[in-house]
Amino acid sequence: DPMAEKRVSRWYFGGLASCGAACCTHPLDLLKVHLQTQQEVQMRMTGMALRVVRNDGVLALYNGLSASLCRQMTYSLTRFAIYETVRDHLGRGTQGPMPFYQKVLLGAMGGFTGGFVGTPADLVNVRMQNDMKTPAHLRRNYSHALDGIYRVLREEGLRKLFSGATMASSRGALVTVGQLSCYDQAKQLVLTTGFLSDNILTHFLASFIAGGCATFLCQPMDVLKTRLMNSQGEYRGVTHCAMETAKLGPLAFYKGFVPAAIRLVPHTVLTFVFLEQLRKYFGIKVLA
């Protein structure tokens, strides 16, 4: 009976799939940093892309890719490994899929851990992206992600390497609930309609919904993070910043929602499409 055989992911597939997605979306990230840092807004995305390629060649679009991949191999690998391993383990004994609230709790736990583990790589990633906009004599010039992590450790200590861990962990929890828990749930709902089978179209639809959910959950947090990072000491802390932002109305928390979605949704879609293909062709065979 061919139906009896089902494949589950190996624990590191989420990390690989995220790396695949990062390779596709990295140029967009890089251009975003370039666009944000130009003094007077005179260029659009395509113009900026052409300028980067003209000045420094096609590979310049992949500057800092090592940091991005290093972040995926720590942060995403961890959150996917925790989420999928626990889900598949619990799913074996019980009948039918986990209830949604359990997926949410599991996603939050996996994401929180992943966010913490991925903090050093995230710090180096941000620094490497910002490096290109600082004047030449002030640049840090990390040769790659591991060099960056080693140098922060040596020059600034372990505590600096994990600065912003609380923020990163909380964001990791929110993104993971949005991506993994919502993806599972959306996929389950799409399959229950009976219109679509477990194919790439289903994966695309479910991951598109999941990307939207992740952006929706994360945006308020990202807005606060940006406001705190750019502040000149006008906020006493996260709560104070949130209260001040709330005075501008609820939509203030969703400022920049579209650009954020343009980044997170394709990344989410690619990650899950890659993940499902890995599972289909290289997953561990189990009896359903």
| pLDDT (tens digit per residue) in 211-221 | 999 999 999 99
Q: Which pLDDT score is estimated for 132?
A: 72
Average pLDDT over residues 72-94: 90
This prediction has a pTM of 0.89
Of 38, 34, 25, 21, which Cα lies nearest the Cα of 77? 21
CATH 2.40.50.220 at 2-287, yes or no = no
Position 223 pLDDT exceeds 80: yes
The residue extents of the domains of the chain are 2-287
What tens digit of pLDDT does each residue of 8-62 get?
899 999 999 999 999 999 988 888 777 766 666 667 888 888 988 998 888 888 8
What tens digit of pLDDT does each residue of 91-107 get?
776 667 889 999 999 99
Is-contact 108 86, C-beta < 8 A?
Answer: no
What tens digit of pLDDT does each residue of 227-260 get?
877 777 788 888 898 999 999 998 989 988 988 8
Position 1 pLDDT exceeds 80: no
Using a CB cutoff of 8 Å and minimum separation of 24, what contacts does 99-105 make? 100/181, 100/185, 103/180, 103/181, 103/184, 103/185, 104/177, 104/181
Looking at every residue in the chain, the average pLDDT score rounds to: 89
Position 108 pLDDT exceeds 70: yes
Q: Is 185 exposed, middle or buried (0-12, 13-18, 19+ CB in 10 A)?
A: buried
Average pLDDT over residues 114-142: 86
Average pLDDT over residues 279-285: 93
Position 2 pLDDT exceeds 60: no
